[in-house]
């Protein structure tokens, strides 16, 4: 692995650690503000793994990103979306 790849890997791990600690940040808010969320990261992880010949299912990819099973994270931390959040999300999709 070259230095650039090592740095990118370390930055990715810091991002994952940060998102695991900031469990009060809701995925829908991330989608509204940044256009991606934890689920996107786990999907990208799975897709890139498969490109490299490593099979990983979506549940395992989500556990890497969330730091626990996705169902457990949702039960502990996910809040129901407000109508305002849903409206903002739909407006973003229409861009």
DSSP string, 32-81: HHHS--HHHHHHHHHHHHHHTT----HHHHHHHHHSS-HHHHHHHH--PP
Q: Which domain holds residue 89?
A: 3-93
Q: Per residue in 10-57, pLDDT tens?
A: 999 999 999 999 999 999 999 999 999 999 999 999 999 999 999 999
pTM of the shown model: 0.91
How far is Cα 6 from Cα 17, in angstroms, rounded to an integer? 16
State the CATH number of the domain containing residue 33.
Answer: 1.10.3340.10
Q: Per residue in 51-71, pLDDT tens?
A: 999 999 999 999 999 999 999
Task: Look at the chain and report how many structural domains it folds into.
Answer: 1
């Amino acid at each position: 692995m070259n230095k650039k790849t090592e740095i990118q890997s370390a930055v990715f791990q810091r991002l994952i650690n940060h998102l695991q600690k900031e469990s009060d940040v809701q995925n829908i808010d991330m989608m509204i503000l940044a256009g991606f969320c934890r689920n996107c990261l786990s999907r990208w992880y799975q897709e890139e793994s498969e490109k490299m010949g490593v099979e990983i299912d979506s549940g395992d990819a989500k556990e890497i990103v969330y730091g626990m099973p996705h169902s457990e994270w949702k039960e502990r931390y996910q809040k129901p979306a407000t109508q305002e959040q849903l409206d903002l999300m739909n407006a973003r999709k229409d861009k």
